[in-house]
Amino acid sequence: MNLDLNLLERWLTGWCLARRVPPPKHLGGGLVAEVGLPEQLRRHVFLEAGPELSECAAQIHEPFIFLKAAVDTDTMRRALPTRWTIESPGYLMYRPSSMNKSISPPAGYAASRELEHGIHAVRLTDSSGQTAALGHVVLNRESAIFDRIETLEPHRRKGLGSVLMHALDEIADSAGASERLLVATEAGRALYLSLGWRVLAPYSTAVLPVCS
């Protein structure tokens, strides 16, 4: 699988569907999504940290507008003036095929599925009915985009992440998805690698700090 702007667009389109915001548009050699949230007004996504990203950055003078590129954090840092803050590294990850099996939740936990506005959610709850882990997947043609996957702190290291990912994968498999995409944190990357996903590229984020 080669990383190109089309793949980034498939990922970003799915992310927009999952967040219920308008789909991305092409702009200045990259992509732009109007998120419209107080903590994130807009995000610009680029394949590289090249002249297009630098030109875009020069036109931004307010916080809450994010620059993202499929490069490592050192490359992102070199491409931008020091006024930009580089956030923790991420990883664009890919899996072409089904995980081919399901995993039952451990004793004391139950799984449920929800569908709202085209967003599939899998929720794991504990014996008291409280949410222990939650993940989402959206389907865009033949792409399945996994999003907002989290196990709450009191329930970590119990295998719930694997249960969640397999359940989400079943949804993607039932829809005939031919690729699965997600952006992982440093902590999440190890889990996804253990489940047969692979890293396509690093994924870095920059934003202007909020002035006090």
Domain chopping of the chain, boundaries: 5-91+202-207, 97-177
Q: Which numeric CATH code is attached to 97-177? A: 3.40.630.30
Tokens of 26: 């092409």
pTM score: 0.93
Count Cβ atoms within 10 A of the Cβ of residue 16 and give its class: 0-12 exposed, 13-18 middle, 19 or more buried. buried
In this predicted model, what pLDDT tens digit does every residue of 92-133 receive, in sequence order? Answer: 999 988 887 778 999 999 999 999 999 999 999 999 999 999
Tokens of 19: 């967040």
Count Cβ atoms within 10 A of the Cβ of residue 171 and give its class: 0-12 exposed, 13-18 middle, 19 or more buried. buried
Strands (E), 52-118: 65-69, 85-86, 90-95, 110-116
Whole-number CA gyration radius for the chain: 18
In this predicted model, what pLDDT tens digit does every residue of 11-44 receive, in sequence order? Answer: 999 999 999 999 999 999 999 999 999 999 999 9
Find all residues with CB under 8 Å of 61, minimum gap 6, and list them. Answer: 208
